[in-house]
């Protein structure tokens, strides 16, 4: 009885969502906020892609190597301080060369670097070799917002920080706008009015460029960061494995409002993406999919 009531309530709510969705192209089902910075946080955000997992694993590996080197150097210094101070060792040795030692301190760092390279280069290549895209999006950095172009369907929209029209200040109206858009007060400086919407578990290729100065597009939880350089078209790729909302911020100092051009990516189910795409094509006057399919055949 209860369950059926719950069910009917849910379906009514869903129906409400669907009708609301047709009114505005940027409406997507409520999503959990997965990739966001935390106050006082020092670690990484969650890893929502294979690239991010690789990066975080590599960071862990490097940490062990760093700890080992630091402990070794501290121990050497301790030994020098205790055993070779003026009191303990009044008459210092006067030799200037020790060939085996010199060979060792040349070879050992090389071995360490080659060892690191053996793990870091594959991670780097995986980021830089761009796979075949399921969805291609062009991101253009402007002073101070991002523009997105869904090149497969010839539509584009701009993405401003919520609060950009209130001089980048958190006013009560801006707080209300945040809540209305499904965010909270703490997401001020991260949430944007429109979001990049992508399907889960699909390969997304972002083409990144700048229109005026150098910006940088990043989503920390995806392990991607790419400078947006005017006159150049760079590429990055990711395959997000979990539905949710992910935030990033322009990561190249680009002017006075650099802090106010965040990035919001919504990873949604395949069906939700298809529905969003249809609405977005309509709202932003893109090329309908039927024509695209015909052209591809």
Q: Could you list the residues that contact Cu ion (CB under 5 A)?
A: 215, 250, 254, 261
Strand 196-199 with 262-268, pairing: parallel
| Closer residue to Cu ion in complex, CB, 28/194 | 194
Contacts of 214 (CB under 8 A, 6+ apart): 141, 227, 228, 229, 230, 252, 254
Rank residues 47 and 196 by Cβ distance to Cu ion and give the closer one.
196
16 versus 230: smaller Cβ distance to Cu ion: 230
Smallest gap, in angstroms, from Cβ of residue 261 to Cu ion? 5
Minimum separation from the CB atom of position 216 to Cu ion (A): 7
Q: What share of the chain is helix, strand, coil (3-state, %, to 5)?
A: 45, 20, 35
CA Rg value for the chain: 26
* DSSP states of 202-262: S-EEEEEEESSS-EEEEEGGGTEEEEE-BT--EEEEE---S-EEEEEE--S--STTGGG-E
> Is the CB of 161 or the CB of 268 nearer to Cu ion?
161
Complex with Cu ion: residue 161 or 250, whichever CB lies closer? 250
Question: For residue 235, what are the β-bridge partners?
Answer: 207
Least distance in angstroms from the C-beta of 16 to Cu ion: 37
Closest distance between Cu ion and the C-beta of residue 76, in Å? Answer: 45
Whether 254 and 215 have beta carbons less than 8 Å apart is answered as: yes
How near is the Cβ of 142 to Cu ion at its closest, in Å?
A: 8
């Amino acid at each position: 009885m209860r369950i059926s009531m719950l069910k009917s309530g849910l379906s009514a709510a869903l129906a409400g969502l669907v009708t609301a969705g047709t009114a505005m192209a940027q409406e997507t089902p409520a999503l959990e906020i997965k990739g966001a910075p935390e106050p006082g946080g020092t670690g990484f955000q969650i890893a929502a892609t294979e690239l991010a997992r690789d990066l975080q694993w590599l960071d862990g590996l490097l940490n062990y190597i760093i700890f080992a080197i630091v402990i070794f150097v501290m121990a050497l210094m301790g030994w020098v301080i205790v055993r070779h101070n003026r009191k303990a060792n009044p008459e210092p040795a006067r030799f200037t060369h020790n060939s085996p030692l010199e060979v060792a301190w040349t070879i050992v760092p090389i071995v360490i670097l080659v060892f690191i390279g053996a793990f870091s280069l594959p991670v780097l290549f995986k980021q830089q070799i761009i796979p075949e895209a399921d969805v291609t999006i062009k991101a253009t950095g402007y002073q101070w917002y991002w523009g997105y172009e869904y090149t497969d369907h010839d539509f584009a929209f701009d993405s401003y920080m919520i609060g950009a029209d209130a001089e980048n200040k958190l006013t009560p109206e801006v707080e209300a706008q945040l809540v209305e858009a499904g965010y909270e007060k703490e997401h001020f400086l991260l949430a944007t009015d429109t979001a990049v919407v992508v399907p889960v578990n699909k390969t997304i290729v972002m083409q990144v460029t700048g229109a005026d100065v150098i910006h940088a597009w990043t989503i920390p939880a995806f392990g991607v960061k790419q400078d947006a350089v005017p006159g150049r078209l760079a590429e990055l790729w990711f395959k997000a494995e979990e539905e949710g909302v992910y935030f990033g911020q322009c990561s190249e100092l680009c002017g006075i409002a650099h802090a106010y051009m965040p990035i919001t990516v919504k990873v949604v189910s395949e069906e939700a993406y298809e529905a969003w795409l249809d609405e977005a094509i309509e709202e932003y006057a893109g090329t309908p999919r039927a024509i695209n399919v015909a052209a591809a055949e």
